[in-house]
């Protein structure tokens, strides 16, 4: 009896010390989300995999796909990638020259990442949107990824405090009551969350797969809707689940 009580206490203590689990995010961050005539026309896009608020990086091997869609055309950018270090781990960077007005949708599909702590593989289909030279037609376009967040609010030109809305989709269909994790890219590491519960915030979509979030601070915010794939990958001879994430990165600005 005493042994059972002791084990229960130890288990409870370990849960308390562990706290909420940190969220993984595929990251796709351009140097500019709104390119104007007077701006540098070359956008530097960094690709990484991390815990963005806590500044804890993970290894990102060269992605399966890295593409930009502009003016209805797909351009494969895998050959443009150069290896860099972000948060102390392998990441990637590409420079892309903006030549025409339009909406530029960048997305990456990473190779599956094995996460021992969750006993599964992780694949985050990650995208971001850049607008150029005053053209903002087509920002709500759907790329057609396995899972995707389709914006209902412009994913650029937002002030801190504005609402961002999106539809979570899986295989082209809305996901009712999908859970969406939200995290701030704490790039310089200066911000501290009051508690671990506020590192990653979680919201739920409605019955139509639509979620809403008002960003309290300027900067880059990531939105990740997670589901389990209908496929498996073998690891050490065993079939393992694949966590697939629909991720979009959106920049908010201060009103000056």
* CA distances (Å), origin 94, targets 16, 45, 80: 42, 5, 5
Q: Confirm whether 14 is domain-assigned.
A: no
Domain-located, residue 43 = yes
5 domain-assigned: no
- 131 contact partners, CB below 8 Å, separation of at least 6: 33, 34, 35, 102, 103, 104, 139, 156, 157
Question: What three-state secondary structure class fits 115?
Answer: strand
Mind listing the pLDDT tens digit of every residue in the chain (256 residues)?
Answer: 444 444 443 443 333 334 455 688 999 999 999 999 888 899 999 999 999 999 999 999 999 999 999 988 999 999 999 999 999 999 999 999 999 999 999 999 999 999 999 999 999 999 999 999 988 899 999 999 999 999 999 999 999 999 999 999 999 999 999 999 999 999 999 999 999 999 999 999 999 999 999 999 999 999 999 999 999 999 999 999 999 999 999 999 999 8
* Residue 16 located in a structural domain: no
Residue 241: which domain range?
Answer: 23-253
pTM: 0.90
Tokens of 167: 């539809």
């Amino acid at each position: 009896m005493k042994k059972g009580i002791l084990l229960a206490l130890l288990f409870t203590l370990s849960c308390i010390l562990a706290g909420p689990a940190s969220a993984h995010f595929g990251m796709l961050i351009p140097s500019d989300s709104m390119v104007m005539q007077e701006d540098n026309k070359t956008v530097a896009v960094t690709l990484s995999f991390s815990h963005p608020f806590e500044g804890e990086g993970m290894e990102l091997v060269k992605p399966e796909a890295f593409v930009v869609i502009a003016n209805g055309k797909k351009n494969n950018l895998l050959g443009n990638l150069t290896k860099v270090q972000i948060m102390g781990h392998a990441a990637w960077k590409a420079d892309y020259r903006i030549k025409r007005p339009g909406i530029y949708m960048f997305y990456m599909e990473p190779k599956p990442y094995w996460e021992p702590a969750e006993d599964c593989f992780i694949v985050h289909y990650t995208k971001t949107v850049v607008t150029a030279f005053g053209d903002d037609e087509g920002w709500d376009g759907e790329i057609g990824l396995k899972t995707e967040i389709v914006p209902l609010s412009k994913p650029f030109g937002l002030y801190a405090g504005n609402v961002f809305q999106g539809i979570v989709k899986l295989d082209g269909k809305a996901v009712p009551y999908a859970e969406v994790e939200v995290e701030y890219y704490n790039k310089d590491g200066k911000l501290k969350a009051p508690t671990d519960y506020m590192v990653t915030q979680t919201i739920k979509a409605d019955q139509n797969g639509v979620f809403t979030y008002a960003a309290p601070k300027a900067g880059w915010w990531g939105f990740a809707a997670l589901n389990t794939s209908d496929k498996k990958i073998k690891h050490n001879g065993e079939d393992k689940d694949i966590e697939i994430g629909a991720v979009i990165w959106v920049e908010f600005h201060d009103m000056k």
